[in-house]
Structure 1
């Protein structure tokens, strides 16, 4: 399973890069999705940290509870693919 995740972490950003080289509008779409995912993941983290502090608990299981939240996992997974995509894209595009 680890090999599948590693291959997807390589293949998906490369596919995103080639899509953006073919269709210029896809670059803006990927950036907008990344911004939405960033704010979604940050909101989940902030609300869970606030809830932990409000209950005066600092157990590790309480702090890491957001890792089980789907509203965190899906955006974080996209950001995990988006960052290598940005790096790949910078390799394939020419700077003027």
Structure 2
């Protein structure tokens, strides 16, 4: 299963790069999705930190349920493939300027 995740982290950004080069609006869509993912993750993290502080607990077990929250996992997974996609896009831009 770890191998599948590793392959997906490599294949999905390359596929995103290829699609963005073929279909112009996808590049902007990928950026908008990343922005929404970032704000979604930030809201979940802020809410969990606030709840932990409101209960005067700082146990790590109180924070770990954050990792099971779908509003955290799906945006984090997208950002995990978006970051390599951005690197691919930067490589394309620097390579075309020569």
Q: What is the TM-score when the length of structure 1 is the normalising length?
A: 0.95
Aligned residues: 96
Equivalent-residue separation in structure 2 for 1:64 and 1:80 (angstroms): 19
Q: Does 1:38 find its partner at 2:38?
A: yes
Q: Runs of 5+ in structure 1 lacking a partner?
A: none
Deviations 1:11-44 (A, max 9, x none): 0000000011111110100000000010001100
Deviations 1:63-90 (A, max 9, x none): 2221110110000000000000000111
Q: What is the TM-score when the length of structure 2 is the normalising length?
A: 0.93
Q: Could you say which residue in structure 1 is the equivalent of 2:49?
A: 49
CA RMSD of aligned residues (A): 1.1
Q: 1:30 aligns to what SS in structure 2?
A: helix
Q: Could you say which residue in structure 1 is the equivalent of 2:69?
A: 69
Q: Could you say which residue in structure 1 is the equivalent of 2:8?
A: 8
